[in-house]
Amino acid sequence: MTMMRYSGFRLIKEALTGDKGWQPAWRDPEPKPHYDIIVIGGGGHGLATAYYLAKQFGQASVAVLERGWIGGGNAGRNTTIIRSNYLLDGNLPFYEFSLKLWEGLEQDLNYNTMVSQRGVLNLCHTDGQRDAYVRRGNAMLMHGVAAEMLDRDGVRAMAPFLNFDNARFPIVGGLLQRRGGTARHDAVAWGYARGADSRGVDIIQNCEVTGFRIDNGKCLGVETTRGFIGAGKVGCAVAGSSGVVMGKAGLRLPIESHVLQAFVSEGIKPLIPGVITYGAGHFYISQSDKGGLVFGGDIDGYNSYAQRGNLPVVEDVCEEGVALMPAIGRARVLRNWGGVMDMSMDGSPIIDRTPVEGLFFNGGWCIGGFKATPASGWCFAHLLATGEPHPAAAAYRLDRFRRGRMIDEKGAGATPNLQ
């Protein structure tokens, strides 16, 4: 199947000829008995992995197995923030690699993923917090990543609607990454799916992996709801289901699953220029192109596989939002939902081989894996195709918890609900 090119000219032509020339963006193939590489999970990470396996590493026999429909998990449930404003060596180059891939993604995929570099502003509310942000900004600058520290007046000029005059936790400044921003989450899954499919990847939906066939320590393939499928190598990228799926291979991961909620208000006129995060609690907000305020806060704080959250966190998130921007107290929340987060013990991800030969793992993305989608896919594809870790992801080893080499970006220790 050749990939249909999208263009303004094509849109006009189709509009004038009854929209009869469009083709499905990807096929719906039957599973083959065997693939060189199987990727479990049709979220952003699994689809990006398959895309780069085919495009960068010339792999011709690849399948993505998705339990439900592609993009139905966290890929389609997140608040779409992309950024690379990290502090630690293990993280910063990886997330900057990802941001660079975001910057060229639409051209690469010929798909409108609505990457919008509208800026990410992290507010600080104490002198100590400002010092920490200056340190983070300096780490970014030393890695060649642009960062700006705004004082209170600078923040006020950018976001005059924040609570400056009567706040319990006054704003003292903010760390700004202008290249950060948002992207259209499900378009990212669809764009990667379309690009992978056109390069011969079989995307098989409604195909749940129920077990692994392991012989003498080597993975030979996967048991699924559509029968056994053999594989030379298997890569698992199932985000919130990581513990359950890898448990079927007899592996216990340093990961807990928790719920994170997201909220969208009714549409209002353009108000928020970029992404703003509140530093005196955990609250982040942006505005969608349709006008809805998109926001979220802390995880629900108990282990769960339910894709919905509970009211105490709804109250907490809304309280923080109103403390930061009293005006939004008048906007009505239209909808909220939850996703299942694969919370690792240091808040950083894992892209590594496992003790089972031929079985590889990608997970532990916590609440921040959307922005990682392109680099995660690229680095996982690199590992699967070459057997060697990509340099940008070399620190994301599974055994770092045993060896004590944590990448504890937040300094929260092995406490998933604080990451």
Ligand X SMILES: Cc1cc2nc3c(=O)[nH]c(=O)nc-3n(C[C@H](O)[C@H](O)[C@H](O)COP(=O)(O)OP(=O)(O)OC[C@H]3O[C@@H](n4cnc5c(N)ncnc54)[C@H](O)[C@@H]3O)c2cc1C
Name the amino acid, one letter, at 382.
Answer: H
Shortest Cβ 349–ligand X spacing (Å): 9
Whichever of 77 and 353 has its CB closer to ligand X, that residue is 77
Burial of 134 (0-12, 13-18, 19+ CB in 10 A): middle
Cβ–Cβ < 8 Å for 265, 333: yes
Q: Which of 74, 126, 77 is nearest to 281 (CA)?
A: 126
Shortest Cβ 283–ligand X spacing (Å): 12
Residue with token string 């594989």: 231
Residue with token string 């970029």: 274
Whichever of 4 and 25 has its CB closer to ligand X, that residue is 25
* CB proximity list for 28: less than 8 A, separation 6 or greater: 205
Q: Running DSSP on this structure, what letter comes out for residue 332?
A: P
Cβ–Cβ < 8 Å for 161, 325: yes
Shortest Cβ 222–ligand X spacing (Å): 8
Cβ–Cβ < 8 Å for 317, 310: no
Shortest Cβ 216–ligand X spacing (Å): 24
Whichever of 46 and 195 has its CB closer to ligand X, that residue is 46
Whichever of 59 and 85 has its CB closer to ligand X, that residue is 85
Question: Which residue's C-beta sits nearest to ligand X?
Answer: 43
Shortest Cβ 415–ligand X spacing (Å): 18
> Helix, strand, or coil here: 319?
helix
Instruction: Retrieve residue 407's tokens.
Output: 């990448």
> Helix, strand, or coil here: 384?
helix
Q: Distance of CA 14 to CAs 5, 26, 221, 246, 258, Å?
A: 12, 19, 43, 46, 45
Whichever of 299 and 406 has its CB closer to ligand X, that residue is 299
Shortest Cβ 289–ligand X spacing (Å): 16
Shortest Cβ 209–ligand X spacing (Å): 4
Burial of 340 (0-12, 13-18, 19+ CB in 10 A): buried
Shortest Cβ 18–ligand X spacing (Å): 34
Distance CA 203, CA 3 (A): 15
Shortest Cβ 344–ligand X spacing (Å): 11
Shortest Cβ 207–ligand X spacing (Å): 7
Distance CA 15, CA 5 (A): 15
Whichever of 184 and 371 has its CB closer to ligand X, that residue is 371
Whichever of 138 and 225 has its CB closer to ligand X, that residue is 225
Residues in touch with ligand X (CB under 6 A): 40-46, 65-68, 72-75, 77-81, 208-209, 237-241, 245, 260-262, 296, 339, 365, 367-371
> Helix, strand, or coil here: 121?
strand
Q: Running DSSP on this structure, what letter comes out for residue 393?
A: G
Whichever of 292 and 369 has its CB closer to ligand X, that residue is 369
Instruction: Retrieve residue 17's tokens.
Output: 């000829």
Cβ–Cβ < 8 Å for 177, 275: no
Whichever of 245 and 398 has its CB closer to ligand X, that residue is 245
Whichever of 198 and 257 has its CB closer to ligand X, that residue is 257
- CA gyration radius for the chain? 22
